[in-house]
Every structure is written in structure tokens, then in C-alpha cells.
């Protein structure tokens, strides 16, 4: 994989999630992630981002230390999808989860300008 964001110090994007007009927000700045998540969910005591973490998700907000770390993005998106499905009382269906991950990851990779290079 190649990333085009290494020169960027800060990354923030909003991704339409496809469920009830919900939008997932991804941040590379942990302070902004915490500030907005605390305010949105009225959780002043939200757990701070640990120095040894690569990512963290809370509600519809995701913090990624490296916006081009697709493995961590997928991990955190799984939390977002599972929590949203539970909140909306959507059955625990693998196909629904896979469909939501596909859409979320495609949109994220496009916004983060992450491309996959295939070996020939």
C-alpha cells in the first residue's frame, strides 16, 4: 500500500455511514477527537487516548495515530459498526456487517487517498 498523507500532519474526514444519516468522523489529532466526542456524547470523563494505542473509537468517532494504517482503521470501524447495529437493534448479521464495512472502508480509503498496489 502507498500512502499520500505522510506529508500531512493532521487528518480529519466525515464519512456518511449509510444507517439513518449517521456520519463517522475520523481524526488523527487525539485532542480534537476527545474534545468533539466528549461534547457530542456529553461525556466529560471519556477515557483519554493512551500513548501506546494505534487507534480508538467512541460512538461514531474514530481516532487513528496514522490515518494510512488500514489494519487499525478496520479494527476501529468494526467497533463503530457493532455499536451502531446494537444501538439500532439491527440483527447480528454477518452479511450486514460486511456490507457496512465494505462501504465505510471504501469511502475512508478514498478520502484518505489510500491506494492498494497489486503485484504483477
pLDDT at site 55: 97
**Residue listed under C-alpha cell 456518511:** 16
pLDDT at site 58: 95
pLDDT at site 45: 86
The Cα 85–Cα 100 span in angstroms is 10
Nearest to 13 by CA among 23, 26, 4, 2: 26
pLDDT tens, residue by residue, 51-80: 899 999 999 999 999 999 999 999 999 999
3-state secondary structure 30-97: HHHHHHHHHHHHCCCCCCCCCCCCCEEEECCEEEECCCCCHHHHHHHHHHHHHHHHHHCCCCCCHHHH
pLDDT at site 15: 96
Q: Pairing between strand 55-58 and 61-64?
A: antiparallel
pLDDT at site 20: 80
The reported pTM is: 0.87
Ranges under pLDDT 70 in the chain: 1-9
Q: Is 113 exposed, middle or buried (0-12, 13-18, 19+ CB in 10 A)?
A: middle
pLDDT at site 4: 44
Where exactly are the structural domains of the chain?
9-115
Amino acid at each position: 500500500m502507498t500512502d499520500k498523507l505522510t506529508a500531512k500532519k493532521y487528518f480529519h474526514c466525515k464519512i456518511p455511514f449509510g444507517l439513518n444519516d449517521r456520519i463517522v468522523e475520523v481524526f488523527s489529532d487525539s485532542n480534537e477527537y476527545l474534545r468533539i466526542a466528549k461534547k457530542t456524547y456529553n461525556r466529560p470523563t471519556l477515557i483519554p487516548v493512551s500513548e501506546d494505542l494505534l487507534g480508538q473509537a467512541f460512538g461514531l468517532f474514530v481516532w487513528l495515530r496514522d490515518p494510512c494504517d488500514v489494519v487499525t482503521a478496520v479494527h476501529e470501524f468494526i467497533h463503530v459498526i457493532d455499536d451502531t447495529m446494537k444501538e439500532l437493534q439491527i440483527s447480528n448479521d454477518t452479511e450486514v456487517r460486511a456490507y457496512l464495512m465494505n462501504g465505510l472502508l471504501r469511502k475512508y480509503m478514498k478520502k484518505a487517498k489510500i491506494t492498494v498496489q497489486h503485484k504483477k
